[in-house]
Structure 1
């Protein structure tokens, strides 16, 4: 009985020792966990602080970056606060500029830019369609940039209005000239175009330079008529240039003809004189021959001569004619004279 009690007491004592030992070990473990938690909390604080600092740095960099804007050497602009929707008053030029966070530059070219109208159709004073090719340089006036932005918002809107104004000026200029004047007064037309565009761009706060009217195309029918007229004018000019030479040639031919005619006339007159002289000579010879024959016939019929009667004389002539004929002569006539006379 005592032995059992001692064993029970020993077990109770051993149980107390183990309980004390477990409590000791637990206390040691709890202290270690508390240190670990403390260290983890400190790390979290460091991370949070670092993140906040990094976020602040990034925010500062972003604010600085959005507060700096650059303009190129060929640009001008005015600051626009995109947050407060406010447009600045001053015009800025090339370089790096600061402004409210997130601001923008409304930019325009600071140099002259080209504006071209190719194949623009307009009606002239005669109502004929003319096709134009026109080019010029334009630039916004920097002193009026804020007014331009308030009126037209940005460069694209401004350029569109300038193009419309240029087209209107070209149509207006066409209406002052008729079809022939586009050819004869091209310089005056170009000056009229300049005058009209300058007047309209003055109201839009823009300047222009280097205006060129590179092509003026009139209707094909009119061009054909002009070419025909030019060819006719050239032909007339050639004829006028050839006129002295042709007159000289004609005068030479006239003189040659007159000389040839004189030669022919002189030859004809000479031949006529020769023929006249020959005829006169022959006539005189014939007359002389007939005079001699008349004298002979006179002697034949005169009493102092042969004393032929008229019938005998005729018979004599007939015999002579027949005798002188080269071919046989057959004549059915009564005998002009008797062969035997009483």
Structure 2
């Protein structure tokens, strides 16, 4: 009798404890951004928006500094359902050909230009391209306008890059671009770059100020050249399959926050461009501006090659360029 009473009490405890103790649905957001980076601020803002909207239904947890993997690993983990969100940037040109258009030098002129491209082409071109690969974009953020740092010399014109060992992301068009300029490009995961610069495995790298400063590259680089050579979007990416299995109201809340967070990201990015350039200068890095016209002229062959790389590439380039002036 005593045993039955204990069992009944235990069952009642479990029954009444279950609603309060039930595990909340945890949605992991992995990215490569370091503390203080735009990626960190963006992912955290998205998580804050999502968690407010989701309440007790689910919780978005962010993991930066490649804790859950490098970009290529995160892409795989999305498909395996091991993470819910990733924030890839340049690597997307390796996922689908269409994203190579953002690797074309100087093609995106401003964030307003990027908004027009998004409005005109996201649902008709970029979303179908990633869905064909098993992914879905639920928000468009940014990595930013990229610049070159190195330990060899100031870069004024493309010829100044001759022989410089320059880290690039693992995207085919960035490699082609810097080979065209005369550099010796080396694909490398972002998490490995600081040590490679510190040990002289590479001479330099190219990134937005937010990535340069947050990764403390200014501590191991002598020169910064303001080039703005490429603007790289950041994509809030999910697995189309796994995301589609979430409750519809959870999906809707996450998509809504993906869209709403973009304004914060663009505002924060513009602020960091000013603040972090000062941080880099104050660290003793010598700063100069590139001859952009010389880089634009040297970039023509890569546009020609991309235009022939797949059906519709030339039209895609022309459409993006046509949206530059806002007309």
What's the TM-score, normalizing by structure 1?
0.24
In our comparison, the structure showing a higher alpha carbon Rg is 1
- Greater RCO, CA 8 A, separation 6+: 2
Quick check: which one's helix share is greater? 1
So what's the TM-score if we normalise by structure 2?
0.24
